[in-house]
Structure 1
Amino acid sequence: MTTTSDAAEGPGRRLPTADLHPVVREVTERIRTRSADRRSGYLRQVREAATRHARGATRSGLGCANLAHGVAACGDADRSRLLTIGAAAEQAPANIAIVTSYNDMLSAHQPFADYPVTIKDAARRHGGVAQVAGGVPAMCDGITQGRAGMELSLFSRDVIAMSTAIALSHDMFDAALLLGVCDKIVPGLVMGGLAFGHLPTVLVPAGPMSSGLPNAEKSRIRRRHAAGEIGRDELLEAETRSYHSPGTCTFYGTANSNQLLMEVMGLHLPGASFVPPDTPLRQALTAAATRQALTNAREGTGAMADIVDERAVVNGVVALLATGGSTNHTMHLVAMAAAAGVDLNWDDFDDLSAVVPLLARIYPNGTADVNHFHAAGGTAVLIGALLGAGFLHPDVTTVVGKGLDDYRREPWLDGDRLAWRDGPAESTDREVLRGIDDPFAPDGGLRMLHGNLGRAVVKVSAVADTDRVITAPARVFDDQADLTSAFDAGELTGDLVAVVRYQGPRANGMPELHSLTPVLGVLRSRGQRVALVTDGRMSGASGAIPAAIHCTPEAAAGGPLALIRDGDTVTLDTRTGRLDVLTDLETRQPPATTSLDEATGAGRELFAAFRTAVGPADTGALVARSASGYTGMDSAAAGGVR
């Protein structure tokens, strides 16, 4: 790997890597074939941009007034460097764009407050310049759960992609550092960064908060509150002990799935994902990311378009499956891949899930959190195990060079010097992280369902064998609050399949329905057989209750969920991959619904055009046109039952 500390590193251990697993090879090849035209079109666009924007030529090509605007706020030394025009490309000082999702309301993004200072100082030490090119919005699904603001959440991903593009559009930059952690923020940054795929780009994380209230205890208290056994004060006290300091929430939801994927896909420095914030090692890694970006800019390596190809995308899917990660990535990975001209679909997830073993148990798929995962060996052990068994492509481009083998290593501080050493070969805690020889399950715990209710995703890594098949009468709700009210009124008795519809992208922006988890958990604890079917999301919150989510086509787009009535018998079968209603729906008409453009309040009226244009979940719920040729309208037209 390219050295990212001031002193040279010694060579790392080079462990055997097995031949690529045949299913991984087959899925990758069909993605490559399916994507050929889109990928070549994307790469042609990138090459044209690289030609126009040869390093240093961007600024030298600006008019004098344009360039003066770009350097007006710089200090004298930075201004002098940026005004160095006409020098040979290899001698011109490189300028790094910082795109940040900082705000001090989100615990995960609050640590980014001081990153620009660290990055600018590191850039100056190594002969470059860094400028904050722009900020992107960052909202928290944990705060907006069950609130109107949650209906903006999924759409914020495309807004972030657009904001990133705006930040990078000034023809001032030779490389980029993208600062983000949570749910839609990282996918949006990647999508926006890929629009400038000729730029060397490094994703820079912030790290998780320290472990708080044990997850099993947190879940128990939530269920007790849902059952009316304890009050709000006791619940709030437990929640604030769980979420208690700067840093990412420690459960394995979308935020921490993002971090793992960025590392396995080669967009982070090795071992950077789960180092805590506000520590010397975290600060050293941020400075090292800066130097790496400068090195890549000077050497003409590390372009984002070279890193994110079909092999990196498959590596991301494999890592997600091997750790039981967030189901949101059945959309986000599709969307990120599309931005690179790679056509990933749900069948690819399904086929890989059948062979990739589950190697991690992290809450909500276990009781441990990401800090326990990191302490057990974390990404170095996971990547080493998957490489050793042939489940990951080893021959990829990363931000530190060629090949994924560097990511078997972990960063450490030798005094004040940052270096990398061989990571542990095996997990130190087999209750949290295991090897290929003794997995928690032989498959990846993600199933694609299909039937006369459409297509859906179900996460089964935490579902008991006895709950893998649920057949029960439907209880139908058009709003999650109605389900909660029915529970409070004691109306949810007996076995049931809760159908919560009109929660898809076109209906209301596809909010997460995480607030339903305690309610459904209480019903299950009472001995009822319970499942959920919805065109909404559950994300990393998907746990012990079998939940068919992202149901496509959604009810608001004429999907069959709109035709279900109370009492219809529904079968959710994760063993055979079926999702069916045992009723003839042909003669039914969907109920009258509110116009999709009438949602107002909390800014929802500003997103009416998004709701009209958005595509279905199985093509990434995309709004903005991507380099793949997807558009919201094109995707919507393709979103029938398959």
Structure 2
Amino acid sequence: MNSVIQEVTNRIIERSRKSRQQYLDKIETARRNGPHRGVLSCGNLAHGFAACSTEEKTDLTSLVKSNIAIVSSYNDMLSAHQPYEHYPAIMKQAIKDVGGVAQFAGGVPAMCDGVTQGNPGMDLSLMSRDVIALSAAVGLSHNMFDGALMLGICDKIVPGLLIGALSFGHLPTVFVPAGPMPSGLPNKEKARVRQAYAQGKVGRKELLEAESKSYHSAGTCTFYGTANSNQLVVEVMGLHLPGSSFVNPGTELRDALTKAASRQVTRLTDLGDNYTPIGHIVDAKSIVNGLVALLATGGSTNHTMHLVAVARAAGYEINWDDFSDISNAVPLLTRIYPNGSADINHFTAAGGMAMLFKELLGAGLLHNDVKTICGDGLERYTQEPFMQDGELSWRDGPKESFDTDVLATVAKPFKPDGGLSVLHGNLGRAVMKTSALRETHCRIKAPAVVFEDQFELADAFKAGDLDKDCIVVVRFQGPAAIGMPELHSLTPPLGVLQDKGFKVALVTDGRMSGASGKVPAAIHVTPEAYHGGLLAKVNTGDIIEINTETGEMCLHVDNDVLAQRKPRKANTDKHQIGMGREMFAGMRNSLTGAEQGACSLFAGQGNQHDG
């Protein structure tokens, strides 16, 4: 085992010893009452299976056949979730075929940053994760279930479902993906059109045509943002069937994997002799494995918050130092847009998850002494699924990459580190995704140009006010201020400035999404400006220095001068009313800082590392 990975794992276990034991005690207490429908009164049980068939009622009364909850994020507006429309029927039949019962326990909301980008709804995006967790918990709260199937794909949905499932950690739980859409317009061409539009060189018609060719059918977006990072991390944590993350929807193999996942959860319940609850699968080693895979593939920066919150739901405390140390220990093995020009389908064709598992396991970068939904260890995950004579089978994955421009080896990686830097200094702490940068490190010292709102930047860009070396500061974008919206719309104009030869970077207490690309962006700055962070005292013209090699993020203004400055007051009214945002005031007020997961669900349960 790699010594750094082992050391990080050990310190997570040690710092979390008390909270993890409390969690295990909680789920063991819940288990002792199961199967839970056995404690229901006749009236309770009658309500619970009133709509079931006579056969199903008999099965559920006997308490010897499993009842599996289906929790889904289906809606038919979002391409990634549209395929889930037909999953419940497929799952119910597959479970019936092996002598069990399945009930649709509940739906959870699923919103898309791609749709809400630059619009008021984006202010609800991050908070939707906690709503999803709460919704999943409500769906599982009826004491009717022996296991669960979680149907989710995109940004906040999978972390929310994970948090909700871990609150019912005594239940075996399998996550079921829907897969990416087939490849469309190449990502490099899409990025070119976006920048041309930002410069006024093409119109809205041309932009919409390019976007529609990129996002063109049912399935997950094909770039390596948070959605596909979710799928990769969940598989590495042992919660997917091997090789199931990136199989396209509407295929024979996709449906076969869905049926197999449904059957598999019935084998893990407490009614048999292979009881494997999700609370036992998701332990410190499983979480570290997820971090390793995320960083080895240049995955989404959103997980520097999501995985913190997920770990907390399982009784563990992790922080950005853990991310940083793991990033320094793992090599970058993939080039998937925005870290390259390939998409997730190209990654699969190059060797995909089986090859990735093989490389990471072979280098001692993954813990192999873990539980998964398929049993002990990760060797099964070096195999890939295929159809043979109409039946689902698995075979050994490729021994070498079919495209070394997309999927590399540990011996010859794209970079010696995982491409995530944790920055610190008088401005606080922040993270920067460096895997997609043109240079290995970001070293920039330049005057600040300060904005209180992301939309102010577009006007300054069009006026030519940013045609210079500068560090753009966009503040009051944090969790407590306005819900921490994604600021990905800033990428095209900043990319244009970069292409003109200017040295530019972004510093913000907001998010830049899993699609963070070639522009250096110090994001998730904590403490946020709204809660007294020094970011609130920065003036346009102040010199800021960012250096990922040394980990510095400093405001070069004399301390005496800073002491005399009054922090700028946030004007957040227009971000807190309308589009339902007024209903989330209580949640905004209870959100923790970015390094604590930007979470509202664990108030009063102790403090985490705050930098």
Is residue 57 of structure 2 the alignment partner of residue 65 of structure 1? no
Compute the displacement of 1:69 (Å).
Answer: 0.7
Compute the displacement of 1:80 (Å).
Answer: 2.2
AA aligned opposite 1:207: G
- 1:473, 1:495 within 8 Å by CA — same for their partners in 2? yes
**SS of the residue aligned with 2:553?**
strand
Compute the displacement of 1:597 (Å).
Answer: 10
**SS of the residue aligned with 2:16?**
helix
**Residue of structure 1 aligned with 2:596, choices 604, 619, 622:** 619
Is residue 450 of structure 2 the alignment partner of residue 461 of structure 1? no
**SS of the residue aligned with 1:539?**
coil
- 2:434, 2:441 within 8 Å by CA — same for their partners in 1? no
1:158-177 mapped onto 2 (5 Å cutoff): 158-177=130-149
**SS of the residue aligned with 2:398?**
coil
1:29-428 mapped onto 2 (5 Å cutoff): 29-53=10-34, 55=35, 58-85=36-63, 92-297=64-269, 298-428=272-402
Could you tell which deviates more after superposition, 418-427 or 332-341?
A: 418-427
Distance 2:563 2:294 in 1: 38
**SS of the residue aligned with 2:524?**
strand
Aligned structure 1 segments of 4 or more residues deviating by more than 4 angstroms: 595-598
Distance 1:474 1:301 in 2: 57
Compute the displacement of 1:194 (Å).
Answer: 0.3
- 1:191, 1:339 within 8 Å by CA — same for their partners in 2? yes
Distance 1:307 1:28 in 2: 15
Q: CA RMSD in A?
A: 1.3
Distance 1:264 1:512 in 2: 26
Distance 1:116 1:78 in 2: 16
Compute the displacement of 1:593 (Å).
Answer: 2.5
Distance 1:564 1:265, change over 3 A: same
Distance 1:158 1:299 in 2: 34
Distance 1:598 1:387 in 2: 46
Is residue 582 of structure 2 the alignment partner of residue 601 of structure 1? no
Distance 2:328 2:431 in 1: 14
TM-score (norm. length: structure 2): 0.98
Compute the displacement of 1:233 (Å).
Answer: 0.1
**SS of the residue aligned with 2:554?**
strand
Distance 2:39 2:593 in 1: 42
Is residue 5 of structure 2 the alignment partner of residue 27 of structure 1? no
AA aligned opposite 1:384: K
Is residue 543 of structure 2 the alignment partner of residue 538 of structure 1? no
Distance 1:250 1:598 in 2: 30
AA aligned opposite 2:591: V
- Deviation string 1:591-640 (CA, Å, 9 cap, x unpaired) is 233367981000100100111111000011110128x935xxx56xx64x
**Residue of structure 2 aligned with 1:559, choices 522, 527, 533:** 533
Distance 1:467 1:358, change over 3 A: closer
- 1:596, 1:611 within 8 Å by CA — same for their partners in 2? no
**Residue of structure 1 aligned with 2:524, choices 537, 540, 550:** 550
Gapped regions of structure 2 (runs ≥ 5):
none
AA aligned opposite 2:293: A
- 1:597, 1:611 within 8 Å by CA — same for their partners in 2? no
**SS of the residue aligned with 2:141?**
coil
Distance 1:536 1:595, change over 3 A: closer
- Deviation string 1:308-341 (CA, Å, 9 cap, x unpaired) is 0000010001000100000000001111011000
Is residue 477 of structure 2 the alignment partner of residue 503 of structure 1? yes
AA aligned opposite 1:240: S
Distance 1:518 1:595, change over 3 A: closer
State the partner residue of 2:423: 449
What is the total number of aligned residue pairs between the two structures? 606
Distance 1:553 1:474 in 2: 19
Distance 1:160 1:466 in 2: 37
Distance 1:417 1:179 in 2: 23
Compute the displacement of 1:64 (Å).
Answer: 0.8
- 1:517, 1:541 within 8 Å by CA — same for their partners in 2? no
